[in-house]
Structure 1
Amino acid sequence: MRHLATLAGVLMLSAPLWASDHGPVFGYATPVNSQGEVSCDAGIFGRNGSRGTQLSTGTACGYGLTPHLTFTAFLPATFGSGSLPESRIFPTGEWSAGASWRFFHSVTQVGKRLEATGSLALVVPGPQPDAGILGNIHRAPGVAGTLAAGFASRSQYLWLGGGYTGFFEKGESRRPDTISWSTVYGFRPAKLRRGYDQWDYRGLVEFTGEHTGGVRVQNAVVPDSSSTSLWLGPSVLAIFKNVAIEGGIQAPLYRDVSTTRYGRENVRFALNFSYLRFSSKTTKH
C-alpha cells in the first residue's frame, strides 16, 4: 500500500508549467518523489480548435534528490498547427529542467496530510518552430515558477495551485508572459481502493485557468494577441504496481480570446503513461 501511495504522489507532481506529463493531467499538486526514486512519463496532449488540432508529446523524468526535493527534466515534441494561444498548462515545444521542493509536510492523522510545494524551472526553446503568431518571434529562454498547496488522504485529495512563466527578450521580440492557476479535487472510491498488486483507481475534477499577455514583435505588442480562458473537466488515474495510466478531457467555461487571431479552441485532452522505480532506501516522510 505504501508503494501505491508513493506512485500516486509522483503522478501528482506540481509541474505543469514545464509540461511534465504528470497527473492531475491539467492542474497543480504537491507530492514529490521519495529519495532515490526515479519516475518517467510519456504522454500525448491535444488542443482542438476551429483552425485545427495541436498535439504535443514528450518524455519527462524525475529523480528524488532528498525526501522533499525532486529534479525533473522534460523533452517534448509537437505536431499540427492549431495556431492557438500560448499555454503553460499544456506542453509546448520548449525543453525544460527544474526542481520541486516540498517545503511544508504535516501528517494530521494516519493517512492524512497537509502539504505545500514550490517549483522552479529553466525553459529553453526546442528545435521545432512554433505555429501561428508565435512562429514569427525570435525565441529566448524563460523561467517558470509554481506554488501548490493542499490536503491528501486515502480517499480524497484537494489542491490549489498557481504559476507564472516569463521569457527574456530577443531581437525586439518577446514571448508572452503567462499566469496560470488550478483547483483539483480527487476521490478514491472504496470499491476501487485496492492493494499494490491490483489495479487501483482515482477520479479527479480539474479546474484550470490561464492569462497570457500580448506577443511582442519589433518592440510592439501585436493587437488582440493576449488571452484569458477557464477550463473544467474530469480525469481518471489507474495504478498497477509501479505503472500508471491516466487520461482526461476539458471543455471551456470562459474564453476572452480573439477568434480573428486564434480561432476558437473547443476541447483539451490528455493521455499519459507513467513508470516509477522505487528506491530500496525509501524513508518514511
Structure 2
Amino acid sequence: MICKIFPKISLNISYLLLILLLLLAVTGTAMAQGHGPLYGLQTPTLAKGGVDLNVASMSLSTEDETSYMLRYLFSYGITEDLQINLTTPTMIERLRDAPRTRGNSNMPANGDIEASLWYRFFSNAFGVGKRFESTAIVGVSAPTDDVRGQVNVGNSVHAAISTGYASRTWYGWIGGGYQYYFEKDGEQLGDLPYASAVVGYRPNIFMGDYPKPDWRIFIESLAEFPGNNKFNGQLDLSDSRSTKVLVGPSFLGLYGAWGISFGAMFPVVQDLTPGAAKERYRLAINLSYWL
C-alpha cells in the first residue's frame, strides 16, 4: 500500500512545485500562511498596517481522484489585534465528490471565495519571548461551483476560535470551528464542525537573528464531523454525519520578509457513510511575503 501511495505523492509534489514556480515567474511576489501552522487553527495576527501576500498550491487525493488548486490570500492588519483577509481560488482540477473540509484556518480547501476577520481578544506576554493568546475568526464565503457532491452549493458562514502558547522554542495551539451552508434551490450542504491541535518546535540551531534562516517543525491534527445534506428541507439519511481524523507534519521557514510553508496530512480515522470516497492524503505548499 505504501509503495502505491508515495510515488503518487512524489509526482503530486513535483506538480505543485511546478505550478508555484510558473505563478511566481508571472507575479514576482508571494508568501506562507503566517508564523504558525499550515493546517490547524492558530492565533497570530499582523501588526497594525501590516500586509501579508500569500500564494498556496493545494492538493487533496481520494481513492478515485485528485484535486489541484491555487489560492491567493491578501491580509491586512487594521490594528495589532484585528486583521482582515480575502482569499480567492484558481481551480485546476476539481473533485467530483469533494469532502466538506477546510484547507486551513485562512483558506477553504474547495473553490470558495472567502472574506474573514480575525480578532485576537486575549494576549498575555511573559518571560522572554513567551505568550499566551486567543483569537476569534468569522468569515463569509461564496462558491465558484454550482454543485458539490451532487448537492447544490450555497453561500456559507464560518466561525472559529483558537488559543495557543508560543515561546522561542515551543508552540502549541488548540481550536475548533463551524461552517454552515445556506440552502440553494431546495438543497443544502451539511454543516461542518471541526477541531484542530498543533504542537511545534524550533530547533536551537535556528534561533539566530536575520540573516540566518529560521525553521519551525509542527505536528498537526485535524478532526472533522460533516453533517447531513438536506433536500427540500428533509435530511438525506444516505449521507449521515461522518468522522475523519488526520495527522501530519508541516514545516515553516522564514528568511527576512519571505516565508515558505509545506506539509502533508494523512487520515488515521475514517468512519464514513456508505459510498463516501476515502481520502489518501492532503498536500499544501505556501509561499509568503510580508510588507
Q: Same fold (TM over 0.5)?
A: yes
Deviation track 1:201-224 (CA, whole Å, cap 9, x = no partner) reads 000000111111012223333333
Letter in 1 for 2:266: A
Contact conserved, 1:28 with 1:160, CA < 8 A, in 2?
A: yes
Which has the higher mean CA deviation after the structures are superposed, 96-105 or 139-148? 139-148
* Residue 34 of structure 2 corresponds to residue 11 of structure 1: yes
* Residue 81 of structure 2 corresponds to residue 68 of structure 1: yes
Aligned length: 255
| Whole-angstrom CA distance in 2 between matches of 1:173 and 1:82 | 17
* Residue 281 of structure 2 corresponds to residue 258 of structure 1: no
What is the Cα deviation at residue 57 of structure 1? 1.8
Deviation track 1:28-53 (CA, whole Å, cap 9, x = no partner) reads 11000000000011111111111110
* Residue 120 of structure 2 corresponds to residue 102 of structure 1: yes
| Whole-angstrom CA distance in 1 between matches of 2:255 and 2:194 | 31
| Whole-angstrom CA distance in 2 between matches of 1:203 and 1:216 | 41
What residue number does 1:175 align with?
189
What is the Cα deviation at residue 55 of structure 1? 2.1
1:112-127 aligned within 5 A: 112-126=130-144
What is the Cα deviation at residue 107 of structure 1? 0.7
What residue number does 1:214 align with?
228
5+ residue gaps, structure 2 = 1-30
What residue number does 1:281 align with?
none
| Whole-angstrom CA distance in 2 between matches of 1:62 and 1:40 | 7
Deviation track 1:190-210 (CA, whole Å, cap 9, x = no partner) reads 012232222210000001111
| Whole-angstrom CA distance in 1 between matches of 2:209 and 2:147 | 44
Contact conserved, 1:229 with 1:257, CA < 8 A, in 2?
A: yes
- Check 1:26–1:46 CA distance in 2 against 1; reply closer, same or farther (3 A cut): same
TM-score by length of 2: 0.83
| Whole-angstrom CA distance in 1 between matches of 2:54 and 2:194 | 22
1:50 to 60, 63, 79: 63
What is the Cα deviation at residue 130 of structure 1? 4.5
Contact conserved, 1:10 with 1:32, CA < 8 A, in 2?
A: no
TM-score by length of 1: 0.84
| Whole-angstrom CA distance in 2 between matches of 1:9 and 1:32 | 13
Letter in 2 for 1:111: G
What residue number does 1:197 align with?
211
Alpha carbon RMSD of aligned pairs, Å? 1.8
Deviation track 1:42-98 (CA, whole Å, cap 9, x = no partner) reads 111111111110222210110000111001111113323252321124521111112
- Check 1:47–1:259 CA distance in 2 against 1; reply closer, same or farther (3 A cut): farther
1:84 to 72, 76, 98: 98
- Secondary structure in 2 matching 1:157: strand
1:228 to 243, 255, 263: 243
- Check 1:10–1:212 CA distance in 2 against 1; reply closer, same or farther (3 A cut): closer
